[in-house]
Structure 1
């Protein structure tokens, strides 16, 4: 292990609240345990689950850091026993269970990936949370295949920009919803075949008109609420719907007859609390199937704004406006 300071700056959360609840504070530099690497963080991503944690609605899993932050990029500066092939000095990005808003962060060796050639640390830190999420839900769970049609809601979110590009790269016809003409234009630039302004258009009606074969085969939804029944309407027979969040609420009254008559599958998953071994399998699939697309420039992270670590509260305020297009990032180095 390289010579390291005893303390670091991290973003603490003394009590739940608004963006101002995020406070820079000194913390001990963590020590890597079995199967872990210690990363000197250059950049970290800001994600909706971080906002939920700040509000007291999404506590970290047992054993995880209470510091927010689920994805990082930086340099390996410490190795625990059984850290695999990683070496001191390697440049990595990693999915973490917490602790990303800090100068140093622990990562499971299996959930770390090399920084793709040609990407900056900021760009690399924008990859793990959304790419792990989209891959495991759209391709593993829902089984999206070339020639099928796909809908992702919130096309200019981090998840949306990633899902549009990956679905298109793997041969799907891509539909998306977004909240303005400007955002719809960005979605089309990223590869969406049809971008629907949900504030002025009914996405169900548009899909029924334009989707080949009476609906879309796979839907990735983080809205929930009223969208659940509407997704059932927009889905093709034997369609697969994957729920990854409930921004509009998780408790709704719904008629499940459409689910039965269309022979739909409605699935859901979370990522943060998944076992280490499962995250390692996702990382291996990304390295084999997706990292070459990133290095070729076919798929790229879309960045919105970059804030210094100490301004994490401003980054959260930006996210809560929903005005962002792509990933909001923290610069740590």
Structure 2
């Protein structure tokens, strides 16, 4: 099969397409013929050598895809050859074929075409598991997501809005913030010009955010705690702003707040399968009803993988970038 390979680590130029052996379906797995693969920030980190795949995972980059089941492994009864699916992966998505644990395979939601479905697995699993399973966001609570115009942000805004929360988000341009408002954001904050803590306090009459989903890490830690409401929950899912910062436990204690850091890729198959089951049960119906929709910025060919990584690294995109074999 054709797949993206990396000649060492570095910039997008290390990526190219080559012939590699086809994957085989092991017990409890299916092989999917890929229709499209979604890009994620973690893909760029892997390319640069900062985020290696978990033990046993494919060295090929790519943490989500859509496609058609091509082979079914021993013990798999819920999927059949020809089924149209989308998948949460530990790796291997930038290819024509990928082997996937059966529990991480999900049906394509009603009303979504097969290529566009590649934009859903990673963002849906990340938002559902962190904002709802971990942080327990409830209707009428205030939710802040940083980077609202990105893949995770656009999905988080829509899902939180659809489930009855008040949504605030940060962004870097007027155009991106306007797009976030069109998705359901009630409060938009230009992080280049405004202090998100002050804007959030003013918008909520001093209440703050009940749940914050943060991809910045160290850079925002103190301000995120400051922005929390009493009994607020901060979930850190990224470290774009560094890994080490000072935490004022007194401020956190005063608010009876919680700080949780999570990752999805390295979880056991059982854990990821449970998350995927929750997504299918709770999120896919909202997608089918068009209350939540995948946002695709651009679809590029697999041979244009370097350009796709350059686009993601530039931050100029809104929503997801996809690759088609």
> TM-score surpassing 0.5?
yes
Q: Deviations along 1:24-64, whole A, 9 cap, x unmatched?
A: 11111100001100000010000001000000000000000
Structure 2 CA distance, aligned partners of 1:113 and 1:243? 26
Structure 2 CA distance, aligned partners of 1:142 and 1:84? 33
Aligned pair partner of 1:241 in 234, 237, 244: 234
* Gap change, CA 1:258 and 1:246, over 3 Å in 2: same
**Aligned-residue offset at 1:256:** 2.8
Residue 98 of structure 2 aligns to a residue whose secondary structure is strand
**Aligned-residue offset at 1:108:** 1.0
Query: Is contact 1:84–1:109 with CA below 8 Å preserved after alignment?
Result: no
Structure 2 CA distance, aligned partners of 1:112 and 1:27? 23
Residue 220 of structure 1 aligns to a residue whose secondary structure is strand
Residue 82 of structure 1 aligns to a residue whose secondary structure is coil
Structure 2 CA distance, aligned partners of 1:193 and 1:70? 31
Q: Deviations along 1:269-313, whole A, 9 cap, x unmatched?
A: 100011111111111111111111111111001111111011111
Structure 2 CA distance, aligned partners of 1:255 and 1:135? 28
Structure 2 CA distance, aligned partners of 1:120 and 1:232? 40
Query: Is contact 2:222–2:246 with CA below 8 Å preserved after alignment?
Result: no
Residue 138 of structure 2 aligns to a residue whose secondary structure is coil
Structure 2 CA distance, aligned partners of 1:21 and 1:256? 43
Structure 2 CA distance, aligned partners of 1:226 and 1:96? 29
**Aligned-residue offset at 1:121:** 1.9
Aligned pair partner of 1:80 in 53, 73, 92: 73
Q: How many residues align?
A: 325
Partner of 1:5: none
* Gap change, CA 1:212 and 1:128, over 3 Å in 2: farther
Structure 2 residue runs without a partner (length 5+) = none
Out of 256-265 and 192-201, give the one that drifted further: 256-265
Structure 1 CA distance, aligned partners of 2:77 and 2:50? 35
Partner of 2:306: 313
Residue 16 of structure 1 aligns to a residue whose secondary structure is coil
Aligned pair partner of 2:18 in 9, 22, 25: 25
Query: Is contact 2:29–2:100 with CA below 8 Å preserved after alignment?
Result: yes
Structure 1 CA distance, aligned partners of 2:236 and 2:77? 33
Query: Is contact 2:67–2:115 with CA below 8 Å preserved after alignment?
Result: no
Q: Deviations along 1:188-244, whole A, 9 cap, x unmatched?
A: 000000111111111110001012552110000001122110001111011000000
Aligned pair partner of 1:160 in 153, 177, 194: 153
Normalised to the residue count of structure 2, the TM-score between the two structures is 0.98
Partner of 1:9: 2
Structure 1 CA distance, aligned partners of 2:9 and 2:136? 38
Structure 1 residue runs without a partner (length 5+) = 1-7
